[in-house]
Structure 1
């Protein structure tokens, strides 16, 4: 724990006895000459609160993150520890709300944290207790190797890195999309653009203006192929994340195809952040908001992306049906948007076929 071993940002102090690093709010320390892939990372950490932890497998501000929210009731709080992707420097808190767990992690006291990473699997212990984050212990970051960075406000001590060890898997229900063909797993996306908006006096913030279907771009404008991860999430941040900073409301069009054996209506579950308009064959069939921190426009759970966000009926004609979604990343003018994405699932697949290629 010496200054020459780290590249720092912000207010970072190295103790004279080389036992610890103290990182202030907004600061970070990245370990030099370390391309970490698999292994066991252990350290002691003390923090007064906030969102603190480490990022790893980092390449160009993209990788994996494990974060803690120290509090007096951390051992009974489902959001005490969270795993998430980080893409283009954006921490995707609200795309990975299902990757949270309780942990015996205390505020303003020293806690021992252990991560065992082996390929795409990660197990986490806090003060000797195995915790279930991420879901099914599955990493979904973009890379299998990269740098390690510690984030404040926190003190870190006794950092060690060793080869990966075999572990016991904590019991938890399986990821919803593993082997589940009911999810729409392939979408085409347009480039991101600034969304027309208006001030909503009731909500106290700008919101997107309902788009006319004639604003749908031509087919050749859908240059990005987005595929769902093992949980069913279509991560728009990963594809278009560089556009998601600043006060403007940023949007994209998503397109997929559903083939039906006959004219019928199918029930659909949908999860999204932040505003969504769904069209089928040119007709608007669903529109709603999921704005974090806005009680009148925030869906359970807590404005985060989940299949519990909403549901609607999708009218299908016989043959091929085009489903278009206008999705925006409206975060009330904030400079950090915490991720945007989409999940769509058909509970009943009788008589329909979803696009896979």
Structure 2
């Protein structure tokens, strides 16, 4: 073998040894399935009505008084992987699992079933995913993340959750086809503890860390992403107290006869930019946290739209909970979306683009849309879309 061939051979051998030693990347993460029987050894009661039992030959947990229980998995932190458990319906309510719970237990992700009467395999609200932010379950801002499934009474229902960094698939009884797809988590935690709650019987909990079944780690498609008709860029104030019974407007003796109460908004207001997130939603709970129980908060949003002529355009608006809309300083539209009331907006008091629709009279040149938005109940948010944008300009 001549000298050049010998050098080539030695180089190839060295490269092969290097690839074998270092080229295999980081060691594969463990995907061992862990068993967490529903016993005191593994689970800490959070509520005072937890009863650990043997049910249908397996270790299980239930309520001792027909109120929902709450239990926390001990000494385990979950980030990504597969969670499986069995649940038997027992009483009405919202049995579910919180995961990625932070240390103060105020932020997490939640998946739960709804059980109010005989299960219907076509009922779209049979299950839901939502983020929990500052202790607020954002179910009323996440109508997109509901689904139907075949759920049984008086027998086990098997739930399997495949969770990546940013997405989730949930299987209920049918392990061949997911019942619920979540293309992007909307919470703020990346890992944390796990809890179970509800007036049901739980058993057979297993967790397989890092087993994501090739579910992408990045966020999935946002159906509003390609649509420029959504209003995404706003200016916003800090929230102020706005108790029930207080009027936003004050009487004046010139047309139109009312103005905004200057104690709620005046020229000294401080504005900062805020941009809509996924699904074109401006999530104010994420921005400002929970509204204290028994109180109501008000925040102001504004944006500027230029029109090349005098014209009217239809605006679709989703909101939670109360809204006042002004165009160029003049009152235009007022509405309420109070869950549980006869006048709540479809779909059943949730904030979606289908809540309300009205025409905006644009003048030629710049136009300011000003919105007062209140919150007292669960999630706080708004979503706005122009039906037609011809002749308009906005960021």
CA distance in 2, matches of 1:327, 1:76: 34
Q: Considering only aligned residues, what root-mean-square deviation do their CA atoms show, in Å?
A: 2.5
Equivalent position to 2:317, from 267, 270, 277 = 270
Structure 1: give runs of 5+ residues left out of the alignment.
199-207, 331-336
Equivalent position to 1:239, from 287, 296, 310 = 287
CA contact (8 A) 2:172 2:179 kept: no
State the partner residue of 2:121.
75
CA contact (8 A) 1:103 1:131 kept: no
CA contact (8 A) 1:79 1:100 kept: yes
Equivalent position to 2:382, from 334, 338, 342 = 342
1:25 matched to 2:74: no
State the partner residue of 2:94.
51
Equivalent position to 1:114, from 157, 160, 168 = 160
State the partner residue of 1:222.
271
1:287 matched to 2:334: yes
Change (3 A) 1:91 1:313: same
Between 263-272 and 114-123, the greater mean CA deviation after superposition: 263-272
State the partner residue of 2:10.
none
State the partner residue of 1:97.
143
State the partner residue of 2:17.
none
Equivalent position to 1:38, from 80, 86, 98 = 80
CA distance in 2, matches of 1:353, 1:37: 43
CA distance in 2, matches of 1:326, 1:183: 18
Which digits, 9 at most, give the CA deviation of each residue in 1:42-89, with x for residues without a partner? 111123221110111222412211110134223121111111121111
Equivalent position to 1:6, from 40, 43, 49 = 43
CA distance in 2, matches of 1:108, 1:228: 44
CA distance in 1, matches of 2:368, 2:160: 47
Equivalent position to 1:190, from 215, 237, 255 = 237
Q: Write out aligned runs for 1:139-150 (5 A).
A: 139-150=185-196
Q: 3-state SS of the aligned residue for 2:121?
A: helix
CA distance in 2, matches of 1:258, 1:164: 48
Q: State the TM-score, normalizing by the size of structure 1.
A: 0.84
Q: 3-state SS of the aligned residue for 1:82?
A: strand
Q: 3-state SS of the aligned residue for 1:98?
A: helix
State the partner residue of 1:64.
109
Change (3 A) 1:227 1:36: farther
Q: For residue 127 of structure 1, report the CA deviation from its aligned partner.
A: 0.6
Which digits, 9 at most, give the CA deviation of each residue in 1:230-276, with x for residues without a partner? 2122112222232x232233221122222334443221100111110
Moved over 6 A (4+): none
Count of residue pairs brought into register by the alignment: 332
